[in-house]
Amino acid sequence: MPTLNMPDVGESVTEGTITRWLKGEGDAVQLDEPIVEIETEKVSVEVPSPFEGRLTRILVQEGEVAPVGAPLAEFDAEQKTESREQSDRPARPVVAAAAPLTAAAPIATNGASPVPATPEQPHRTRRYSPVVLQLASEHDIDLALVRGTGIEGRVTRQDVMRYIENPVAYTVPPSREAGVVGVSAPPASPPAPSAHAAAASTPAPDGDEVQPLSATRRTIAARMLDAHLTIPPAWMVVEADVSNLVRLREATKEGFQRTEGVPLTYLPFFVQAVVAALKQHPALNATYTDEGVRVHHACHIGVAVAVESGLIVPVVRDADRKSIAGLAHEIVDLGAKARDRKLSLDEVRGATFTLDNTGAFGSVISQPLIPPGQVAIMTTEAIRRELRVAEDGSFAARSVMNLCISFDHRALDGAQAGMFMRSVKEHLEAIRADQQVY
Amino acid sequence: MAETTYIDAIRDALLEEMERLPTMVVLGEDIQEGGVFRVTDGMLDRFGPGRVLDTPLAESSIVGVAIGMATNGCVPVAEMQFADFAFPAFNQIISEAAKWRYRSNNGWGCPIVVRAPSGGGIRGALYHSQSIEAMLAHVPGLKVVAPATPYDAKGLLKAAIRDPDPVIYLEQKRAYRLLKGEVPAEDFTVPIGEAALRREGDDLTVISYGMMAHECLAAADELAADGIRATVLDLRTLAPLDREAILDAAKRTGKVLIVHEDNLTGGIGGEVAAIIAEHAFDSLDAPIRRLAGLDVPSMPYSAVMEAYFMPSREKIAVAMRELAAY
């Protein structure tokens, strides 16, 4: 009996949630007629029917999560259609020898046809070489969990070696692909192709409640553990006097809102100060690899956004070429897209430095984890009114804030980070209360 | 240390051993005049016609005479003008020299060295490009060496001369004036039967020898720029093979490419692959691959066709990338 399987909508997506069945058991379906709505961590798709016939049994209910390739429903189909025939072939192309394994698959957007369902994994993913079997037995590894980078997704000796060293990082595609925290790459896929419930909480015997992990939450968990396990962080705080910035914003925000249609927040100023400091200290705008530190020419600033399901870090590309107004618009725009889950892959990857405005919650000090693929992340803390003593001995109420940085101590030392932070501070303190925003 | 060409390293080894061993003689076609490649240039003046012997154009006789001299206490080093011309001497080499110790119930060795300029890529075509190592490495009782560097050329020739049994010394004729390298002035040998690890990496292993070892190293350099790290093993001695080094290199990565200029079928690569399959099966992560000269009757003369025949850095790099991606 033919089945409709969870489609593969992109290389880094491994599972999806059934949001709505558009057809019920017993319904007749036409070829290419939308049958079910599926939500993944990146996109929502309507899956068209690969058959002409009758839906006989729904295997995965609304609200449940199923891995890519898992059967979702059974059909009484008259005939296999062309698209079904195609789906019997391995979905992944054979990797050309010289091709880097980083290219992301195209992502289906709302309404677009997903890649046909893959009924079976290519045979190579289930055939293992002698050395892989040997290593798996020595280290008691379930090979179904290991991310394969060989031909047709084959698990290679090196994949197993990397998995032994860091199981979390190598059950999922490399975080460098996304370059941001908590987005776009999937969590470890469960080995069994059976659907498992995700929507409902499960009561535990002691009366506690186990809340299942959402796809986003699991991605964040894997990313954060990767960051925590693989990057030796060092940390530092400086205080900046932003009294003039506060006055400037107070004086201009109403006019800005009127003319631009978006609020004037502090964030664009912080981004500009960070970008200016990165230009002076490019070592902070870099990627650490064992072969060498890759210093980026472009300044793509990840701006952390809290959304209902967790944390997403959209990227302001070429932030060094944008005005305060341009940044304000873009940040508002990206934030809205993040909340609506409308961000494209390009809008969440490729950050070279990340900025997190933890001060929005009133935090005065925080210690962020460094996104893999970057060498530092900076937080901007709450602006407070404090008494400060000036050089001449007078004291006054000033608006001050803390700037915190976590940096990868493999790539950078305290001196470099310190000079960068001093530069950010100087740029913020150099703002005059009477200057133009434009 | 002085930079020495491959050919000078061979001549230096001959000169130094002639000085050291009064019983050593060299013999071959036109070698009093220095030979076609000038390896024995100047030796006649230094050691006289009693120790530097010109022979008729009859390789069977050159090796036959050498065997006779060896059984009478001499240490002869016979020169084949080209490896291609060694075939008339095969009967002497295989049926006499190789079996001398066995036949005499370990009573006598046959301490001859047969030098033969081997390999192509010099537009030498049919009669001046052949590789003969696989045919000879097949014969028990023979040792076969194929040095890739000036250092090994000198050290292995000295070791061959000092060996109590017959050694086939396959000079890489393309290397003669192409390769320079550091060679110590003081006396040293390179032990027969020991491979050399030329490069280390965890992604795949390339096993080769002779001139092809250099092509492999160049390909490995190219791949390193893309983050693919290769182990490169230079066999140096083709009989007996350094099994330990082969197995270590294979186990390190589980992915093995064997490269030689000699044609594929029945080549050294098959033997190396069999050793790995028999003794390192559990370490394999990919099918063993071979890249070798084409199974055609001869190296072609046309430069385009010669390049088509020969394994090259580019072809090796492609094969390495495919194996790395497997």
Contact A156 B321 (CB under 8 A): no
- Chain B environment of A99 (Cβ under 8 Å): 325
Residues 6+ apart with CB under 8 A from A15: A6, A40, A65, A66, A67, A68, A186, A189, A190, A215
The minimal CB distance from B281 to the residues A130, A132, A156 is found for A130
By CB atoms closer than 10 A (0-12, 13-18, 19+), residue A412 is buried
> Encoding tokens for residue B64?
């036959």
Which of the residues of B are catalytic?
128
Contact A156 B322 (CB under 8 A): no
Chain A residue with Cα closest to B285: A129
Protein fold of B196-325 = Rossmann fold (3.40.50)
Instruction: Chain B: give the shortest CA distance to residue A388, in Å.
Output: 53
pLDDT digits 0-9 by tens, B14-66: 999 999 999 999 999 999 999 999 999 999 999 999 999 999 999 999 999 99
Task: Tell me the three state secondary structure of residue B319.
Answer: helix
Contact A158 B202 (CB under 8 A): yes
Mean pLDDT by 10 residues, chain A (438 residues): 78 75 87 83 74 88 85 77 41 32 34 39 69 92 87 90 84 43 36 40 72 76 87 95 95 93 94 96 93 92 83 91 94 89 81 92 93 94 94 93 96 94 96 87
B135 to each of B116, B168, B241, B267, how far by Cα in Å?
A: 14, 11, 14, 8
Contact A130 B282 (CB under 8 A): yes
Contact B285 A291 (CB under 8 A): no
Cβ–Cβ contacts within 10 Å for residue A122, how many? 18
Domains of chain A: 3-87 (2.40.50.100), 123-222 (4.10.320.10), 233-429 (3.30.559.10)
pLDDT digits 0-9 by tens, A324-367: 999 999 999 999 888 887 787 778 888 999 999 999 889 999 99
Instruction: Chain A: give the shortest CA distance to residue B325, in Å.
Output: 5
Q: Residue B187 above 70 pLDDT? A: yes
C-alpha A120/C-alpha A123 separation (Å) is 8
Query: Which residues of chain A have a Cβ shorter than 8 Å from any chain B Cβ?
Result: 95-99, 129-132, 134, 150-151, 154, 156-158, 291
**Which CATH number is associated with domain B3-182?**
3.40.50.970
Task: Write down the pLDDT at residue A9.
Answer: 65
Task: Pick the closest to residue A410 from A280, A236, A292, A295 (CA basis).
Answer: A292
pTM: 0.53
Contact A95 B325 (CB under 8 A): yes
Instruction: Chain B: give the shortest CA distance to residue A151, in Å.
Output: 5
| β-bridge mates for residue B76, sequence order | B25
Task: Write down the pLDDT at residue A43.
Answer: 66
Domains B3-182 and B196-325 alike in fold: yes
pLDDT digits 0-9 by tens, A372-420: 899 999 999 999 999 999 889 999 999 999 999 999 999 999 999 999 9
Domain-wise residue ranges, chain B = 3-182, 196-325
- Chain B environment of A291 (Cβ under 8 Å): 227
Contact A151 B227 (CB under 8 A): no
Q: Residue B257 above 90 pLDDT? A: yes
The string over B230-268, giving b where at least 16 C-beta atoms fall within 10 Å of a residue's C-beta and e elsewhere, is: bbbbbbbbbbebbeebbbbbbbbbbbbbbbbbbbbeebb
C-alpha A202/C-alpha A200 separation (Å) is 6
Task: Write down the pLDDT at residue A124.
Answer: 56
Chain A residue with Cα closest to B201: A158
Query: Which residues of chain B have a Cβ shorter than 8 Å from any chain A Cβ?
Result: 202-203, 226-227, 253-255, 281-286, 318, 321-322, 324-326
The 3-class secondary structure across chain A, one letter per residue, is CCEEECCCCCCCCCEEEEEEECCCCCCEECCCCEEEEEECCCCEEEEECCEEEEEEEECCCCCEEEECCCEEEEEEEEEECHHHHHHCCCCCCCCCCCCCCCCCCCCCCCCCCCCCCCCCCCHHHCCCCHHHHHHHHHHCCCHHHCCCCCHHHCCCHHHHHHHHHCCCCCCCCCHHHCCCCCCCCCCCCCCCCCCEECCCCEECCCCCEECCCCHHHHHHHHHHHHHHHHCCEEEEEEEEECHHHHHHHHHHHHHHHHHHCCCCCCHHHHHHHHHHHHHHCHHHCEEEECCEEEECCCCCEEECEEECCEEECCEECCHHHCCHHHHHHHHHHHHHHHHHCCCCHHHCCCCCEEEECHHHHCCCCCCCCCCCCCCEEEEECCCEEEEEECCCCCEEEEEEEEEEEEEECCCCCHHHHHHHHHHHHHHHHCCCCCCCCC
A7 prior amide bond cis, ω within 30: no
Task: Write down the pLDDT at residue A201.
Answer: 60
Is beta strand A196-197 parallel, antiparallel or unpaired with respect to A301-303?
A: unpaired
By CB atoms closer than 10 A (0-12, 13-18, 19+), residue A429 is middle
Which of the residues of A are catalytic?
409, 413
